[in-house]
Copies of this chain bind each other. A is one copy, B any other.
Amino acid sequence: MVRQLPVECANLQRAPTDTMKRYEIFADQIAELIRSGMLAPGEKVPSVRHASRTYGVSPSTVFQAYYLLEDRGLIQARARSGYFVRELARHSLAEPETSQQPTQTTEVDVSELVFSVLASLKDPGTVPFGSAFPSPQLFPLPRLARSMAQSVRDMQAQAVIADMTEGNPSLRRQIALRYMVSGVMLPLEELVITSGAMEALNLCLQTVTQPGDLVAIEAPAFYATLQVLERLKLKAVEIPVNPREGIDLNVLSERLASLPIKACWFMSSLQNPLGASMSDDKKRALYEVLHRHQVPLIEDDVYAELYFGSQPPKPVKSFDRDGLVMHCGSFSKCLAPGYRVGWVAGGRYAEQISRLKLMTTISPSVPAQAALADYLQHGGYDRHLRKLRHALEAQQASMLASAARHFPATTKVSRPSGGYFLWFEFPEQVDALRLFQLALAQGISLAPGPIFSATRRFGNCARLNYGHPWDAQSEQAMAVLGRILASF
């Protein structure tokens, strides 16, 4: 069966660029059709001749695009029949619902649990489904090493002291440029370079809160969010999250109206752990609600570059008219883990954040900043990002298919449009902490649901990392997890 697709579904409005070729753009359009369900698993993709005629591209462009999609694990060739959307499994698992509405405010006390989970990741022999990072094999480390060698060799002696206060000027320009390309005009003064996004988030929170204050966060939330709140003696107001659409704006509005919330800390795109991304309209609406109450948003956007679609998601920051949004980013998840360079576009709080930084760590490492500045300018960052996104997308498909093969049929799983985490909701009788221990005993790590909640909910959930190249060991580990799940 070949479906006639409307031309506008795969229009080629985006022109080829220096770094992105025509066939890559075309492949992205087809991938989008597959993701959206317009092209279903098992369905035949348009023939080369048909696609070439319909979309006005050369047959060789179509061929190259299909080869790429085959590499990305999205389509497969069948002998003498052409290309088909890959059938991932006989059945696939359902998606989870929005998390239940939690109690109003909560003292946070989750660190001990988180540390015991993190400790489990130290053994390099463990299957790293519990890891917070993608495989370092996916990063261009040799190219980065060249940038590092080059930039420390060329560094002016004075820079090792001067660059501590303001940050590396070239890196600041490169980051501002990337904002500009994605449609956010950012005055350079707003930009504070930090020791990774974690420092940026800490500084933002300390800038706008005092111990005892209320902070709205997602439920489930990234566990470090909970640890930081605990450390700073802040109280959590948990806002439920839908696995596709993000936080429940109605609940947030109600909470803002009834409670003296001092700040919100949200991931508007590719939320950790659910993978939810708000639509542009919802992001705009979120900003308007916060603007009305004059409550600042700390926008944790560290997965921003790992989208699978053809366009980057817009940050809430792009709708910010009065500097209320502190937008935090990082290179740790998409380029250089361990370099510890992140930033915040701090809006009206930028100067306070910068001062606080001088009092706590003074500066991120100057050589690391210089190396990243050089790499961003000369290293082919956009090309690397495209490769990385394709690898992650293929690995997600592999883990979803494997889960459908091995996990109980009533398991629910998220379908994030980027990043490297899947969120599993297992049958009710599954105890995720027990699952964590049993899996660990078999050499498999995972992140159990309760570490993502101030109230220790999500007791039958877990986050699994698909950021590592999928191989026989991964498949084997999923089968083992399936057997443990069946034993509950």
A residues lining the B interface (CB < 8 Å): 111, 115, 118, 122, 124, 131, 133, 136-137, 139, 141-142, 144-145, 148-149, 152-153, 155, 157-166, 195-196, 198-199, 202, 206, 211, 224, 227-228, 231, 336-341, 355-356, 358-368, 371
Contact = CB atoms under 8 A, between A and B. Distances in A.
Contacts of A165: 118, 122
A156 B101 CA distance: 45
A158 B121 CA distance: 12
Given A115-B358, A228-B360, 14 more contacts: A136-B157, A139-B160, A145-B155, A159-B338, A160-B339, A161-B337, A164-B340, A195-B365, A338-B365, A339-B365, A340-B363, A360-B360, A364-B365, A367-B368
Copies of the protein in its oligomer: 2
Contacts of A157: 136-137, 139, 141
A367 B149 CA distance: 11
Nearest to A165: B122
A141 B155 contact: yes
Nearest to A224: B359
A309 to B, nearest CB: 27
A139 B163 CA distance: 16
A361 B196 contact: yes
Given A153-B145, A338-B367, A371-B367, A361 B198 contact: yes
B338 A164 contact: yes
B359 A361 contact: no
Contacts of A341: 365
Interface centre among A202, A227, A362 (most CB of B within 10 A): A362
A338 B361 contact: no
B199 A360 contact: yes
